[in-house]
């Protein structure tokens, strides 16, 4: 029996006040397992990014709970939650969140520095991951000098450098051409997914859906269906 990595239980989220009040997540429950690549799909505004933020310990829900590897993450205090996320979760955000003043290599090294690696060790490990995403020759450039697709690849390298148990990606291929997107997703599936890791991906990109183990289909804040993917 596969081990549950993330358990979302009756999650609710509201935004705004009065007329602008939006019910962004309505009673959303599902389990994500170690060893699977779980995709979240649905129309714009259906709550995908909100769900990703709640299950990864970034955005506090208004109701329900989220267990990550058995830990009720929204019951942790801020310091415990930060430490838990650092130890367990890697993120790739839709808009990259790269540090503009650091080089590409330094950006990838940051999670290791936070884990108290020596600076030279962190840089050398980071270089391996830049090579994996095909950007070794961009190591000394700052993010502003990179294309959108290259920045996305740096963000992916930074998310996987510390080998997190849970890897969360928001639209990871949105700014990549089809071939690069598939190459990176195949790489993640082959080299990054393992029996001890769970990968959750929000995507609009139909070209990569065949790599899903299962697909959560969101609509209007609700979980409409859970489908078995082609790669299960
Ligand atoms: N910070 C916020 N403040 C107010 N409303 C928000 C906020 N974030 C999201 N919403 C609203 O919550 C709903 C769900 O938004 P969310 O970004 O999760 O959807 P999404 O499915 O990820 O959309 P997209 O595919 O366009 O990224 C939308 O109606 C959105 O307008």
In short, whether 99's Cβ falls inside 6 Å of ligand 1 is no
Spatial CB neighbours of 158, under 8 Å, sequence gap ≥ 6 = 92, 98, 107, 108, 110, 111, 129
Return the pLDDT at 2.
77
Average pLDDT of adjacent 10-residue blocks, the chain of 232 residues: 91 94 97 96 94 94 96 96 91 86 97 92 96 92 90 89 91 82 84 90 88 95 91 71
Burial class, 149, CB count within 10 angstroms (exposed 0-12 / middle 13-18 / buried 19+) = middle
Q: Which two tokens stand for residue 80?
A: 């415990």
Summarised one tens digit per residue, pLDDT across range 105-132 is 999 999 999 889 999 999 999 999 999 8
Which residue's alpha carbon is at the smallest distance from atom 5 of ligand 1? Answer: 15
Fold of 4-228: Rossmann fold (3.40.50)
The CA–CA distances, whole Å, from 5 to 8, 66, 76, 214 equal 10, 10, 17, 14
ipTM: 0.97
| CB 119 less than 6 A from any atom of ligand 1 | no
For ligand 1, atom 14, the nearest C-alpha belongs to 47
Classify 58 as helix, strand or coil: coil
Q: Would you say 28 and 10 are in contact if contact means Cβ atoms under 8 Å apart?
A: yes
Q: Is 15 in the pocket of ligand 1 (CB under 6 A)?
A: yes
Q: Which residues pair with 65 in a beta bridge?
A: 9
Task: Answer for the pair 69, 87: CB distance below 8 angstroms, yes or no.
Answer: no
Q: According to the model, what pLDDT value does residue 165 have?
A: 93
């Amino acid at each position: 029996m596969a081990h549950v990595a993330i358990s979302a239980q009756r999650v609710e989220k509201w935004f705004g006040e009065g007329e602008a009040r939006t019910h962004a997540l309505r009673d959303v429950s599902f389990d994500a397992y170690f060893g699977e690549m779980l995709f979240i799909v649905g129309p714009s505004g259906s709550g995908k990014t909100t769900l990703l933020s709640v299950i990864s310990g970034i955005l506090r829900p208004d109701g329900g709970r989220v267990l990550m590897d058995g830990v009720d993450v929204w019951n942790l205090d801020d310091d415990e939650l930060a430490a838990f996320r650092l130890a367990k979760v890697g993120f790739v955000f839709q808009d990259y969140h790269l540090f503009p003043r650091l080089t590409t290599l330094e950006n990838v090294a940051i999670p290791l520095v936070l884990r108290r690696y020596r600076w030279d060790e962190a840089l050398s490990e980071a270089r391996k991951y830049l090579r994996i995403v095909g950007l070794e020759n961009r190591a000394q450039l700052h993010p502003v000098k990179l294309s959108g697709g290259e920045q996305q690849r740096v963000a992916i390298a930074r998310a996987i450098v510390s080998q997190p148990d849970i890897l969360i990606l928001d639209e990871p291929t949105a700014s990549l051409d089809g071939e690069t997107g598939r190459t990176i997703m195949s790489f993640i599936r082959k080299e990054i997914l393992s029996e001890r890791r769970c990968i959750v991906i929000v995507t609009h990109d139909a070209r990569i859906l065949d790599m899903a183990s299962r697909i959560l289909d969101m609509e209007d804040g609700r979980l409409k269906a859970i489908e078995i993917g082609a790669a299960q």
